Structure 1
Amino acid sequence: MFLAPDGDEIEITNAAAEFLGEAMPLDRLHTAGNADMSVALRAQLGNMGWFALALPETKGGSGLTAVEHALFFREVGRLCGPVDILAQSLAAHIADEHLRPAIVSGEQGVALVVKDGSRARLIGAADAVLALQVDQQGGCLFDIASTAFEERASLDIANSLRIGDLPQANRVAEVADDRLWQLGQLGTAAMQIGLAEVALELIVEYAKVRETFGRKIGSYQAVRHPCADMALRAEAARCQLWFAAAAIKEGRSDATVHLDAAKHLANQAALANADTNIQLHGGIGVTDEHHAHLLLKHSWLLGKLFGTKRALLARLLDARVES
């Protein structure tokens, strides 16, 4: 696979889409209490082996690559999947042989840590007993089972938010390797592209049935042209994501450069497409009952994880790629 999935990759994509569509449909977010992974969903994902997709076989995983990792999280993104799915998957790579089975099976939940000055923001279910902090140098896994955190309101309905102090003495695993960051960046970029694709699909379907002045709105240039822009943004970001995933798989020296570019394009595509989707839907696009606002809020959060606009562009400014 280089710029498009084929063969077994398509089968994995279809299997993930079918499973996730039943396990966590987008409609769930219109009902209170469906943020994060539930205990049941975490167990289902663990039983299916999705947390260990890119984990080496020597560590009890499926032994697949960054390509399959990206394909799976693209499907997660299409359903505004909670961020703790990614945290759980990454934690499996850092945990030791004693802790890893509980993470891979979904028995123990993992929240994602985002630094907030001297404190930490935790994104994930309240029953998570582990917290994962990742940066470009590596990652740390903390035991937070006995640590109290303050609940905070979250703009993104798909994820809950807590804030507090990490118990530095309770580090249960640590690694100095940029691969963890790469998989996190690849996963969030893939989720963003899934969002961008769904936003396009929603407005295209609506444009086929909504009429104004006796004509379908899809017949007007004011709708067709923005839809074309949405399609172009999604396609450009998707192609860059596939290239970045293949570059990681092949061990290219410039893989991190392509990954930064993929995350930047994915952030742009998701946010712009989600916003355009709302605008073209008109009045219905700003209602709480519609999916449109879910995509926008989720894309804002994902855009802040594993590479923001300023950080990505700063690294890309002097980047070099293989000839």
Structure 2
Amino acid sequence: MDFRFTEDQLLLTESVRDYLAAIHGQEVLRRLDQGDKRDPAIWQGLVEMGLPGLLVPEEHGGLGLNLVDAAPIAAECGRCCLTEPLVDTAFVAVPWLLAKGEYSQMAAIAAGVVKYPLHHSINPWVADGSDGEALTSVDPLRLLVRGGGGDDPQLLNLAALMTAAQLVGIADAMLQQAVEYAKIRTQFGQPVGAFQAIKHQLANCAVAIEFAKPVVWRAAAAMQDGLASAPVHVSHAKVAATDAAMLTAETAIQVHGAMGYTYEVDLHFWMKRSWALAGAWGSRAFHLKRIDEAVLGSALQIGPQATFA
């Protein structure tokens, strides 16, 4: 069985990465943070790229792709610290509504007319919601209102999956920033990246990220195929991605000499986004409990004989 992404999937992901890098760089994050947090032109650009309609069926004006196609795109949204609610609307709300047989808003979502806030009891807030008391987030570019909602497990799993995908993209971006800084920051007459201790720390981050990625892609495939074990794979993905992002954030701060905490260093945008998403759609403890219950309760068979079952 070939688990690699297809050439078309890789090309789509690369195209989105290049586009987001061009329109949503570090200077844009600072402009948004000092202004209204949102820019309609950015959303319109995403619409013109066809991204809100990525999972919308073709007969409703979308591209008709699936969760495996969407997961690496969500990672790219994390990589650029995207402010617009593309992931929540296009990669969570759309498959959730489709699973319930609700098609009435598909065309509007694909056209970029509708942004769909997600309400769930696991979160005491709603991101990009229009009603409710405004809340302050650790991430200055997240717009939250007080809220909650039902307890639909499908919504929880889809949102946790795409949150994990964003976290690996965020971790990738933080690692890249740390590596670049280690090349130019000097100590004792040489770049700090030349010191073995720094190399080992950055290598540990790279290993954690690369180990988390296939776990996230596996969870996306399990959700797409409707496997009974999908919730456990999602929890595994959320834990692995959270751990990779937290380790990378801490390491990147240390490489920057703790300056990463400060507003003057761009790293803080990604660091704060990783903190915010780590607790979104289920904490690490919540997802570890789901994994423990599945494994210890024998609901999930483990071992080489069950790996590809």
Quote the residue 2:117 is aligned against. 111
The equivalent of 1:52 in structure 2 is 53
For 1:43-122, list aligned pairs within 5 A: 43-82=44-83, 84-89=85-90, 90-93=92-95, 94=97, 96-113=102-119, 115=121, 121-122=125-126
CA displacement at 1:122 relative to structure 2: 2.5
- Give 2:185's aligned residue: 210
Determine the structure 1 residue equivalent to 2:135: 152
| Change beyond 3 A, Cα 1:2–1:253 | farther
Q: Which aligned pairs between 1:1-323 and structure 2 lie closer than 5 A?
A: 4-31=4-31, 32-33=34-35, 35=37, 37-82=38-83, 84-89=85-90, 90-93=92-95, 94=97, 96-113=102-119, 115=121, 121-124=125-128, 128=130, 148-163=131-146, 178=154, 180-319=155-294, 320-321=300-301, 323=306
Contact 1:4 1:239 in 2 (8 A): no
Answer yes or no: is the 8 Å Cα contact 2:93–2:118 preserved in 1: no
The amino acid of 2:94's aligned partner reads A
- Name the % identity: 31
Q: TM-score normalised to the size of structure 1?
A: 0.80
User: In the alignment, is the contact (CA less than 8 A) between 2:167 and 2:277 conserved in 1?
Assistant: yes
Amino acid at match of 1:234: I
Contact residue 260 and residue 312 of structure 1 kept, 8 A: yes
Aligned partners of 1:292, 1:2: CA distance in 2, in Å? 36
CA deviation map 1:234-253 (0-9, x unaligned): 01111211222233344444
Question: Cα distance 1:269–1:83, how it changes in 2: closer, same or farther (>3 A)?
Answer: farther
| TM-score, normalization by structure 2 | 0.84
For the structure 1 residues 55 and 177, does the alpha-carbon distance in structure 2 shift closer, same or farther, using more than 3 Å as the test?
farther
Moved more, 153-162 or 25-34: 25-34
* Separation (CA, whole Å) in 1 of partners of 2:177 and 2:148: 41
Name the aligned partner's letter for residue 42 of structure 2. Answer: L
CA deviation vs aligned residue, 1:215-259 (integer Å, no higher than 9, x gap): 221111221111111111101111211222233344444232222
- Shift in Å, 1:183: 2.7
CA contact (8 A) 1:43 1:107 kept: no
* Most deviating of 99-108 and 73-82: 99-108
Q: How far 1:73 moved relative to its partner?
A: 0.4
Counterpart residue number, 1:136 = none
TM superposition shift of 1:152? 2.7
Task: Give the distance between the partners of 1:40 and 1:99, measured in 2 at CA.
Answer: 22
Residues matched between the structures, number: 291
Structure 1 residue 34: deviation in Å? 5.2
CA distance in 2: counterparts of 1:305 and 1:242, whole angstroms: 19
SS at match of 1:122: strand
SS at match of 1:271: helix
The verdict on how the C-alpha distance between 1:114 and 1:157 changes in structure 2, with shifts beyond 3 A counting, is farther
Question: Runs of 5+ in structure 2 lacking a partner?
Answer: 295-299
Alpha carbons of 1:287 and 1:62: their partners in 2 closer, same or farther (altered >3 Å)? same
SS in 1 for 2:35: coil
8 Å Cα contact 1:152-1:162 kept in structure 2: yes
Q: 1:64 to 1:293 in 2, by over 3 A?
A: same
8 Å CA contact retained: 2:236, 2:291: yes
Matched residue of 1:206: which SS? helix
Structure with greater helix share of residues? 2
Contact 1:195 1:274 in 2 (8 A): no
Distance 1:266 1:245 in 2: 13
Q: Which residue of 2 is the match for residue 139 of structure 1?
A: none
CA contact (8 A) 1:80 1:294 kept: yes
Shift of 1:97: 4.0
